[in-house]
Amino acid sequence: EAEVAQSPRYKITEKSQAVAFWCDPISGHATLYWYRQILGQGPELLVQFQDESVVDDSQLPKDRFSAERLKGVDSTLKIQPAELGDSAMYLCASSLGRREAVNTEAFFGQGTRLTVV
Amino acid sequence: GNSVTQMEGPVTLSEEAFLTINCTYTATGYPSLFWYVQYPGEGLQLLLKATKADDKGSNKGFEATYRKETTSFHLEKGSVQVSDSAVYFCALIAFGNEKLTFGTGTRLTIIP
């Protein structure tokens, strides 16, 4: 069964260091999402791609976070420098994302749990 | 903009009790509606979905009906089990921009 792949599964980093997460969506999915989920809260959208283009990054802290999806397939989310408050689960999801598609459910990866010390 | 409002938790029930978790939404156009479930330490899994008014999504004994007139998508299960303990998220995708919006989640604990 096709699934969204994320790595690493867990990451511990010191504050002020750089950290990167990788996501490989389900093949053929045009829409890719990065979410941040702080413990005990709902997922918060950081950035949404349609193919290689960013369609929503209004909640992305652009002074330290960046995201790219250069070939419209896999994606990388980077934080530099990391801060203590960035400790959270980072979830990647993908959906078919075509305008003509009705059942555009999103499929989630297992997430990357980031701890900043 | 689009938004989802969920019943505040946590919710604690005894095994075999009836479950309802309320969800209402605000959206332009006709969104697709979803319930996702998150077990401890894991990512989100789709539980059920409905794509148009009066559709009923169902899975693993859970059901939810897309009610356009009340803009609701309440989750129900007739007899819960300990294994249903998890966090449940109501969500919507607005057709056209594919933006997936979540509610804040409801933590459900089932005690034997």
Q: Which residue has the higher pLDDT, A58 or A104?
A: A58
Local structure of residue A39 (DSSP, 8 states): T
Mean pLDDT computed over every residue of chain B: 92
User: Looking at residues B36-62, what average pLDDT do you find?
Assistant: 92
B36 touches chain A (CB under 8 A): yes
Q: Give Cα A116 distance to the centre of its chain.
A: 17
Helix%, strand%, coil% for chain B, nearest 5:
5, 55, 45
User: How much is the pLDDT for A102?
Assistant: 54
Chain B residues in contact with A97 by the CB 8 A cut-off are: 98
Q: What pLDDT score was predicted for residue B99? A: 75
State how far residue B45 is from chain A, nearest Cα, in angstroms.
Answer: 7
- Non-local (6+) Cβ contacts of A21 within 8 A are A6, A7, A8, A11, A76, A77, A78, A90, A92, A112, A114
Q: Which of B46, B96, B99 sits opposite A105 (nearest CB)?
A: B46
Residue A103 pLDDT exceeds 70: no
What count of Cα atoms within 13 Å lies in the side-chain half-sphere of residue A49? Answer: 26
Sign of CA dihedral B104, B44, A94, B53: negative
Is pLDDT above 60 for A97? Answer: yes
Q: How far apart are CA A106 and CA B80, in angstroms?
A: 26
Residues A86/A66, Cβ–Cβ less than 8 Å = no
Q: What are phi and psi of A51, to 5 degrees?
A: 55, -125
Q: Does the distance separating the beta carbons of A93 and B103 come in below 8 Å?
A: no
**Maximum CA pair distance of chain B?**
44
Mean pLDDT of A65-85: 95
Q: Which of B34, B89, B95 is closest, CB to CB, to A42?
A: B89
For A13, phi then psi, to 5°, come to -140, 155
